[in-house]
Structure 1
Amino acid sequence: MESIATVATDRPERYLKQLCSHLGRKIQADYTETEGHLTFDMGRGVVSAGEGVLTMRAIADDAESLAIVEDIIGRHLEGFGQRDNLKVIWQFVPTL
Structure 2
Amino acid sequence: MESIATVATDRPERYLKQLCAHLGRKIKADYTDTEGTLTFDAGLGQVTATPGMLTLRASADNPENLAVVEDVLGRHLEGFGQRDGLQVVWERTTA
TM (normalized to structure 1)?
0.98
For 1:94 and 1:22, the matched residues in 2 are separated by 28
For 2:15 and 2:94, the matched residues in 1 are separated by 27
Q: Which runs of 5+ in 2 are unaligned?
A: none
Task: Write the letter of the residue equivalent to 2:9.
Answer: T
Q: Which residue of 2 aligns with 1:59?
A: 59
- CA distances 1:37-58 after superposition (whole Å, capped 9, x unpaired): 0000010100000010000000
Q: Which residue of 2 aligns with 1:30?
A: 30
- CA distances 1:21-66 after superposition (whole Å, capped 9, x unpaired): 0000000000000000000001010000001000000000000000
For 1:74 and 1:49, the matched residues in 2 are separated by 15
For 1:58 and 1:52, the matched residues in 2 are separated by 20
TM (normalized to structure 2)?
0.99
For 1:94 and 1:62, the matched residues in 2 are separated by 11
Q: CA deviation at 1:82?
A: 0.3
Q: Which residue of 2 aligns with 1:16?
A: 16
For 1:72 and 1:14, the matched residues in 2 are separated by 18
Q: Which residue of 2 aligns with 1:47?
A: 47
Task: Write the letter of the residue equivalent to 1:58.
Answer: A
SS of 1:88's partner is coil
Q: Which residue of 1 aligns with 2:81?
A: 81
May I ask how many residue pairs the two structures share in their alignment?
Answer: 95
Moved over 4 A (4+): none
